[in-house]
Amino acid sequence: MHFYEFDYLFERVWRDPRRYLPILRRFNGVILPDFSVYRDMPLVMQLWNIYRSRAIGFWLQANGVEVIVNVRWGDRRTYRVCCDGAPKGGVIAVGTVGAVQSTEDRLFFAEGLAVVVRRLDPKAIVVYGSAPEEIFGRYREAGIEIVQFASETSCAHGEVA
């Protein structure tokens, strides 16, 4: 189960998590919500959305749900906190939809991912969306398992992710 959707579609889980707990317990695991963290957002909003993902994760774990931490960063100021609450040497998730479209986006994504890998040393990275070789290839070569899933958008358009 994942939350790689528009924020408004899963905002209700943030507002009333108890209501959705029975549904989330049906899954073997849940990738934590991917609240939007844009580089042009005020820093406090970027931090708030990172916090909300971790808070839901903590609550779900406390209620017996297996989780995979979704690591999302915005601008460079969020690199310090984007890994907080994520396991070292474990499995993490990242979403690339909308994050690797332009050259500038790819540069920021690659830079942030390098920070994440250095801090967390994950054994596996679950990627929702494309996993461009120029970004993820070096991690594959380093022995990190890259598990990529095509986004619903690319599947709907018949694109290869």
pLDDT confidence of 95, banded at 50, 70, 90?
A: very high
pLDDT surpasses 60 at 81: yes
**Domain annotation covers residue 23:** yes
Task: Give dist(CA 43, CA 57) in Å, integer.
Answer: 21
Q: Are strands 67-70 and 91-95 parallel, antiparallel or unpaired?
A: parallel
The Cα-based distances of 106 to 24, 47, 50, 96, 100 in angstroms read 32, 21, 20, 9, 4
Domain tally for the chain?
1
Tens of pLDDT along 8-61?
A: 888 999 999 999 999 999 999 999 999 999 999 999 999 999 999 999 999 999
**CATH number, domain at 112?**
3.20.20
